[in-house]
Amino acid sequence: MDKSVIDFNVRLRTIRIRDLIVGIIIAIILSSVISSIFPAIDADDNLFMIMFLLIATLLYAYALKGTRGLENNFDDFSKDNVKKEILYVFIINFLFACLFVFLISAFDFLSGLNDPNWISMLDVDTVDMDSSILILEGIAAIIFAPIVEELTFRGVLFNRLKIRTGIIPAMLISSFIFAIGHEYGGITSAFLFGICMCILYLKTDNIFIPMSVHFINNVVATVLETSGIDIVLAQMPWLIPSLIISIIGTLLLTKYIIKETRLIKKEFS
């Protein structure tokens, strides 16, 4: 990391992978020490995760302290084309993430018509959760996760890998590492989401753009998970239109990634 660089975007690109590893170790150690002092944190995985993400955020703030140019990054959000792309990328990724659930639900529905004893492959049971748990999970997923994950996987990992491997391999590798940290059913959608975040970051040189998409995505995912709306959409009569719309979103996502990847190859070849 080059502390002599005062531009925010450039300083971010100077953070090395070894700096990242050291930061992760420091965050783990400090989180463990604090949790040993406060047993409530040690007893609650959500509290521990929030503590870890908070410390990681503070470490990034320290690494980027004294830089300038944030006002230019925030000015990008006033541009109509940027706002439209943020919304568009979120929608097509969200629809693809829903596709797997809708496909299983459709398969269950058709199988149930032929076999009354068919056992659904889709778990649609709702789980009552304590409000405090929902709040803690919301804080971790909505506030801290978009900040830390975008700075880590796009701001540091993608930036450093593209120097060594080239842009396209860096997109694939950083997105794969990002994806394996997610649940099994969401690995594919997380992988494609990561590629889209790399594309947005590369196009704008503004980490707050992919961060904003990540924020919107996690807000909507949290609302759906806690409200059970996704379960309703996966049932008749909503299943057929939901499935059709998610397939259209998947095609648009595929088209977006192919188109933007070709443009990136031309621009940076």
Asked if residue 218 lies in contact with residue 53, where contact means CB atoms within 8 angstroms, the answer is no
Number of domains comprising the chain = 2
Burial of 148 (0-12, 13-18, 19+ CB in 10 A): buried
- The answer on 264 and 156 residing in a single domain is yes
User: Which domain covers residue 27, as residue numbers?
Assistant: 1-68
Asked which of 68, 86, 118 is the last residue of a domain, the reply is 68
pLDDT tens, residue by residue, 77-133: 999 999 999 999 999 999 999 888 888 787 776 776 666 665 555 554 444 556 677
Give the whole-angstrom CA distance, residue 101 versus residue 186.
Answer: 10
What DSSP letter does each residue of the chain carry, written as one string? --TT--BHHHHHHH--HHHHHHHHHHHHHHHHHHHHHSHHHHH-HHHHHHHHHHHHHHHHHHHTTT-B-HHHHHHGGG-HHHHHHHHHHHHHHHHHHHHHHHHHHHHHHHHHHH-TTPPPSS--------HHHHHHHHIIIIIIHHHHHIIIIIIIIIHHHHHHH-HHHHHHHHHHHHHTTS-GGGHHHHHHHHHHHHHHHHHH--THHHHHHHHHHHHHHHHHHHH-HHHHHTSTTTHHHHHHHHHHHHHHHHHHHHHHHHHHHHHH-
Q: Which amino acid is located at 186 in the chain?
A: G
What is the residue type of 149? Answer: E
Average pLDDT rounded to a whole number, residues 189-212? 96
Which of 63-67, 113-117, 132-136, 206-210 is predicted with the least confidence, judged by mean pLDDT? Answer: 113-117
Confidence at residue 125, expressed as pLDDT on a 0 to 100 scale: 47
Beta carbons of 199 and 260 less than 8 angstroms apart: yes
Question: How confident is the model over 215-256, as pLDDT tens digits?
Answer: 999 999 888 878 777 777 777 788 888 899 999 999 999 999
Verify that 234 and 179 share a domain, yes or no.
yes
Q: Say if residue 1 is in the same domain as residue 126.
A: no
146 and 60 fall within a common domain: no
Same-domain status, 181 and 261: yes
CA–CA separation, 264 vs 269, rounded Å?
8
Average pLDDT over residues 20-37: 95
Of the residues 39, 68, 97, which one is the last residue of a structural domain? Answer: 68
Give the pLDDT score at 101.
Answer: 81
Looking up tokens 């955020």, which residue turns up?
57
Displacement of CA 217 from its chain's centroid (Å): 7
28-32, 85-89, 133-137, 169-173: segment of lowest average pLDDT: 133-137
Given a contact cutoff of 8 angstroms between Cβ atoms, the answer to whether 152 and 20 are in contact is yes
Average pLDDT taken over every residue of the chain: 89
Q: 217 with 88, same domain? A: yes
Q: Are residues 132 and 210 in the same domain?
A: yes
Do 96 and 150 share a domain, yes or no?
yes
Give the pLDDT of residue 53.
95
With a CB cutoff of 8 Å and minimum separation 6, the contacts of 264 are: 167, 168, 199, 202
More confident residue, 231 or 50: 50
Using the 3D structure, point to which of 47, 68, 89 is the last residue of a domain: 68
Structure-token pair, residue 232: 């309703």
Q: Please state, in angstroms and rounded to a whole number, the distance separating the CA atoms of residues 238 and 138.
A: 27
